[in-house]
């Protein structure tokens, strides 16, 4: 029995040593910014930010190697601009940088929204003396993030509605269903400390677990076939953050409009060009395919999502056009790419490297056309 116990200890020690050695080698080969979850900290105006230099991020907590004193292009946005579901090299700002052969600073983080964008531009962006500022406006949650920041943070209390007849402020924040992550605390700890763990969980090996989590977290999740595989849609989740019948979401749209107007004024006063990207939800990209198939859920969740998202986009487009602000609507380019390629991971609403390349190429084309115009 003692021999068995001793052998078990030796095996455990050898396995631990092998794991630690593999972890050390992986950190030499792989970039921490692509695999380790960074440490977060509170912030007076932003609510949250990444700690300086955490997990390969820069001094300001953004996904860059360093903070430049001056940069020609700044991209400001949320997780869609940060580049969730792709390496830092494959996020669209970095792909744009390679297409243009011109530096692009990525000033984005998940959970940020239009009021955050306004603050980031005023507080940090303009000091870098950019020639062009690109705002990535994501319809999936930007209205929600604008509302939640203003109504949770006293720094923005001056933006709240003074009349409370409709009870907007009293209704709390806009809440979406929880992720439903199995063993969430343990997995979050591993995600912050182990590159190997992240390599495994970001690979197709983890797809069965992700499928179970998606099914548990969303009542209306369903799958569709795409070129080369399958993907999952969660229209109810996206609809909740776009439901203009909800006074909080409507208020989020009003706050988004105000923030965009402030961004326009900031850029105009500093002689900086502004471009706004209209980034659709994954569900909107695939909505026509779903509706053509006549799935039962399409009669409610998908069709309602389409109606709300299109109404929000029409409002934003009218606002931008009235201020002569150029924008790139990414729905059709992404929809065309989705017909022939896998542009989203199967269980994620963020694009993959191919999807981000579509965004980068559309922005590059716009910039090249403007720069070559007489």
Note the pLDDT tens digit of each residue in 33-86.
Answer: 776 789 999 999 999 999 999 999 999 999 999 999 999 999 999 999 999 999
Alpha helices in 40-141 (DSSP H): 79-82, 92-100, 114-120
* Element (DSSP H or E) covering residue 336: helix 331-338
Residues with Cβ < 8 Å from 61, sequence gap 6 or more? 38, 49, 50, 51, 52, 54, 109
pLDDT of 193 > 90? The answer is: no
For 132, the enclosing helix (H) or strand (E) is: strand 132-138
Condensed to tens digits (0 to 9), the pLDDT of residues 133-178 reads 999 999 999 999 999 999 999 999 999 987 654 555 556 898 876 6
Rounded to 5 degrees, φ, ψ at 279 are -100, 115
pLDDT digits (tens, 9 = 90+) for 217-252: 566 777 888 998 889 898 988 999 999 999 999 999
pLDDT of residue 316: 98
Name the β-bridge partners of 48. 42
Q: Is the pLDDT of residue 182 over 70?
A: no
Domains within the chain, CATH numbers bracketed: 58-170+218-372 (3.40.50.1110)
Q: Which of the four pLDDT bands, split at 50, 70 and 90, describes residue 19? A: very low
Residue 42 burial class via C-beta count within 10 angstroms: exposed 0-12, middle 13-18, buried 19 and up = exposed
Instruction: Kindly indicate the confidence band of residue 116, based on its pLDDT and cuts at 50, 70 and 90.
Output: very high
Quick one: pLDDT at residue 293?
67
Helix, strand, coil tally for the chain in percent (to 5): 55, 10, 30
How long is the chain? Answer: 374
CA dist 196 and 298 (Å) reads 39
Write out pLDDT tens, residues 256-309: 999 999 999 999 999 999 999 999 999 999 998 888 766 555 557 788 999 999
Q: Specify the pLDDT at position 236.
A: 86
Of the candidates 348, 336, 345, 91, the one whose C-alpha atom is nearest the C-alpha of residue 228 is: 345
Residue closest to 237 by CA, chosen among 196, 283, 193, 277: 283
Segment 190-217 shows an average pLDDT of 58
314 has a pLDDT exceeding 50: yes
Mention every residue, 6+ apart, whose C-beta is less than 8 A from residue 211: 232, 346, 347
> In sequence order, which residues have a C-beta less than 8 Å from that of residue 328 and are 6 or more positions away?
275, 276, 277, 278, 362, 363, 366
Tokens of 272: 């900086």
Over residues 202-213, the mean pLDDT reads: 61
């Amino acid at each position: 029995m003692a021999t068995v116990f001793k052998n078990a200890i030796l095996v455990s020690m050898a396995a631990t040593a092998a794991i630690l050695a593999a972890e050390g080698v992986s950190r030499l080969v792989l970039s921490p910014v692509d695999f380790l979850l960074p440490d977060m900290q509170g912030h007076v105006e932003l609510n949250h930010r990444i700690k300086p230099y955490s997990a390969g991020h820069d001094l300001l907590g953004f996904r860059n190697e360093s903070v430049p004193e001056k940069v020609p292009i700044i991209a400001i946005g949320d997780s869609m601009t940060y580049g969730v579901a792709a390496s830092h090299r494959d996020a669209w700002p970095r792909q744009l940088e390679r297409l243009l052969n011109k530096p692009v600073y990525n000033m984005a983080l998940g959970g940020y929204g239009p009021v955050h964008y306004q603050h980031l531009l005023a507080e940090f962006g303009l000091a870098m003396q950019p020639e062009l500022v690109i705002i990535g406006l994501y319809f999936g949650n930007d209205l929600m993030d604008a509302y939640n920041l203003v109504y949770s943070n006293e720094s923005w209390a001056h933006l709240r509605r003074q009349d409370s007849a409709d009870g907007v402020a009293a209704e709390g924040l806009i809440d979406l269903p929880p992720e439903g992550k199995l063993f969430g605390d343990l997995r979050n700890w591993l995600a912050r400390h182990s590159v190997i763990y992240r390599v495994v969980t970001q690979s197709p090996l983890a797809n069965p677990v992700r499928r179970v989590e998606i099914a548990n977290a969303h009542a209306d999740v369903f799958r569709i076939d795409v070129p080369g595989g399958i993907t999952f849609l969660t229209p109810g989740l996206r609809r909740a953050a776009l439901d203009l019948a909800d006074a909080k979401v409507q208020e989020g749209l009003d706050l988004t409009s105000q923030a965009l107007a402030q961004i326009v004024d900031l850029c105009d006063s500093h002689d900086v060009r502004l471009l706004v990207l209209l980034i659709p939800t994954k569900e909107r990209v695939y909505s026509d395919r779903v509706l053509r198939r006549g799935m039962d859920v399409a009669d409610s969740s998908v069709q309602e999502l389409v109606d709300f998202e299109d109404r929000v986009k029409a409002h934003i487009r009218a606002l931008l056009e009235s201020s002569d602000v150029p924008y790139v609507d990414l729905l059709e380019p992404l929809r065309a790419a989705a017909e022939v390629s896998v542009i989203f991971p199967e269980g994620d609403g963020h694009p993959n490297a191919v999807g981000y390349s579509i965004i980068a190429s559309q922005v590059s084309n716009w910039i090249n056309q403007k720069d070559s115009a007489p």
